[in-house]
Structure 1
Amino acid sequence: MLEADKLFAGSIPENYDRYMVPLIFAPYARDMAERVAAFSPNAVLEIAAGTGVVTRALAPGLSPGARYVVTDLNQPMLDYAASRQAADSRIEWRQADAMALPFEDAAFDAVCCQFGAMFFPDRVAAYREARRVLRPGGHFIFNVWDRIEDNVFADDVTKALARIFPEDPPRFLARTPHGYHDTALIRRDLADAGFSGATVDTKAEESRASSPDLPAMAFCRGTVLRTEIEARKPGGLDAATDYAAAAIADRHGSGEVAAKIQAHVIVAAV
């Protein structure tokens, strides 16, 4: 992962929430919320909350007396998440680094993280921190995207941009969001962090959009791909987005489109 891969700033948070969340994140947020709520936790820590899609899904399922601390490394994303959340005295918003959590040992019953582990520079350190703040019997629930070939729209956009920029293809999606899909490696990282075991559930969903334009806008404008495109051709974002949309239309049609998405959901117990 490059340092720039963590910079979700400017208009990216709004576009991320507007396009990316309904396209690929919403079904996994519902799944995450159900898994966490099933443990009936009294104290929950969310890491890498992004624009708050899991927060919005999980908060209604927690008990009235629960404590819910929502964190992200990126303050603009966290600010946007807070702006989308209804007033809730149970929720505390904190800017925090997953590799150095500002919380006491054994402070939470559950730690959850949706599609954030791929961005951690040191995953073992982050997992060790998650374990440290969990109480005995607590659970660490997180998910990561499977390989890019199993996430069709992301693969379509990546291949389209490689045709526009053949000498220096924008590889953010393959490099980072889809760069941590080896389940054996994930298990080893968890073991190195002190977790004794974990379950891995590979979960396929369908990504749907009303037109090819929407997935193209989601990936080209709502992720760090925007930064990569603009660095290669200033002023070229519109043309690159249109080209990606045309590539999706060529493969999936010009009306409503649908394609496979797939992720691994991991549950590790203390």
Structure 2
Amino acid sequence: MASIDVRFSGSVPANYERYMVPLLFRPYAEVLAQRAVAFSPARILETAAGTGVVTDALAHALPDAEIVATDLNQAMLDVAAGRVTAANVLFKQADALDLPFDDGGFDLVVCQFGVMFYPDKVQGNLEARRVLRDGGRYLFAVWDSIERNLLSNLAHETLQRLFPENPPMFMKRGPFSYNDPQWIERDLAAAGFNNVHIETVALASRSPSAEEAARGLCYGSPMRVELELEEYGPDALDRTFAEVSRAARQFEGPDGFDAPMSAHIVVATK
């Protein structure tokens, strides 16, 4: 998982936390925390924890549970450790495809918007299942199709227009690449999960302004690293930011930026 880890480097983690978390990730973190409460877990493992938005939601929703939050990227975990100081949370750098934990040690494994980046999704599922006790749950979120996530789709279409000869494809190859429920179920079944429930949840992506929403996508995601490649030119990132800001104003109203987004919430039981 080194390639995607490198993309979340430099100033990306801080911008991700400042702009992307409230824009896209905090709303679904609350959904995952609500689902987790229903399972009454005593010991939780979070994979691909990033800057800790789900960790924080879990710690507040389940203050008596032990939470081990992991990520491959230490820079992201450093940000998370600065924002989540609950006594029931432990941060540990770990690869979700090779977890450093004993079999059957957790009641719940949680992952928000990380599974689609796993180079071997079945292996990630196998590891989640291995560390779960019998009857434990694997709870994760992945994005629905990009067409149902209007800000991200707008950014993707802007990139196609600005760089028609070599359009950056990170959006479709990365965050929105794993949106087919049948594919998700097949991969879970291949890892031994037979009891799977998938719910598609539509929420609103909100920000104080279209400009701030665009800043999050352009400067707080791996898009920044991709657009800083020499092949796109020295002003690629700034040009993209200006165009996405302009186009995103269609979703701006008196209360700020507001656009639809959609994700799949998956629960698999061991």
TM-score under structure 1 normalisation? 0.94
Aligned-residue CA RMSD (Å): 1.6
In the TM superposition, what is the alpha-carbon distance from 1:4 to its structure 2 partner?
4.5
Distance 2:4 2:103 in 1: 31
> 1:194-209 residue pairs with structure 2 within 5 A?
194-209=192-207
Does the CA contact (< 8 Å) of 1:48 and 1:116 recur in 2?
Answer: yes
Distance 1:143 1:6 in 2: 22
Match of 1:21 in 2: 21
**Residue 69, structure 1, aligned to residue 68, structure 2:** yes
Does the CA contact (< 8 Å) of 1:5 and 1:172 recur in 2?
Answer: no
Match of 1:60 in 2: 60
In the TM superposition, what is the alpha-carbon distance from 1:235 to its structure 2 partner?
4.1
Distance 2:12 2:261 in 1: 22
Distance 1:141 1:132 in 2: 14
Match of 2:263 in 1: 263
Distance 1:165 1:54 in 2: 35
Moved more, 235-244 or 205-214: 235-244
Distance 2:4 2:166 in 1: 16
Deviation string for 1:91-127 (max 9, x for gaps)? Answer: 1111111110000000000000001001100000000
Any idea what SS the aligned residue of 1:143 has? strand
Distance 1:94 1:38 in 2: 25
1:208 to 1:89, Cα distance in 2 relative to 1, 3 A: closer
> 1:75-86 residue pairs with structure 2 within 5 A?
75-86=74-85
Distance 1:91 1:208 in 2: 28
TM-score under structure 2 normalisation? 0.94
Match of 1:181 in 2: 179
**Residue 224, structure 1, aligned to residue 227, structure 2:** no
In the TM superposition, what is the alpha-carbon distance from 1:237 to its structure 2 partner?
2.1
Does the CA contact (< 8 Å) of 1:7 and 1:74 recur in 2?
Answer: no
In the TM superposition, what is the alpha-carbon distance from 1:181 to its structure 2 partner?
0.3
Distance 2:151 2:100 in 1: 37
Distance 1:254 1:67 in 2: 42
Deviation string for 1:147-190 (max 9, x for gaps)? Answer: 10000000001111221111111111121100000000000000
Please tell me the residue identity of whatever aligns with 2:11.
Answer: S
Count residues in correspondence. Answer: 267
Distance 1:176 1:2 in 2: 14
Distance 2:179 2:205 in 1: 19
Match of 2:97 among 96, 99, 110: 99
Match of 1:110 in 2: 108
Distance 2:7 2:251 in 1: 31
Identity of matched residues, %: 48
Does the CA contact (< 8 Å) of 1:211 and 1:257 recur in 2?
Answer: yes
Match of 1:139 in 2: 137
Distance 2:62 2:149 in 1: 31
Distance 1:180 1:173 in 2: 11
Any idea what SS the aligned residue of 2:263 has? strand
In the TM superposition, what is the alpha-carbon distance from 1:38 to its structure 2 partner?
1.7
1:130 to 1:208, Cα distance in 2 relative to 1, 3 A: same
In the TM superposition, what is the alpha-carbon distance from 1:5 to its structure 2 partner?
6.8
Deviation string for 1:22-76 (max 9, x for gaps)? Answer: 1111110001011112211111000000110001111022243x32100001111
Distance 1:127 1:236 in 2: 37
Show structure 2 runs of 5+ residues with no match: none
1:19 to 1:266, Cα distance in 2 relative to 1, 3 A: same
In the TM superposition, what is the alpha-carbon distance from 1:230 to its structure 2 partner?
1.2
Match of 1:125 in 2: 123
Does the CA contact (< 8 Å) of 1:42 and 1:63 recur in 2?
Answer: no
Distance 1:141 1:4 in 2: 22
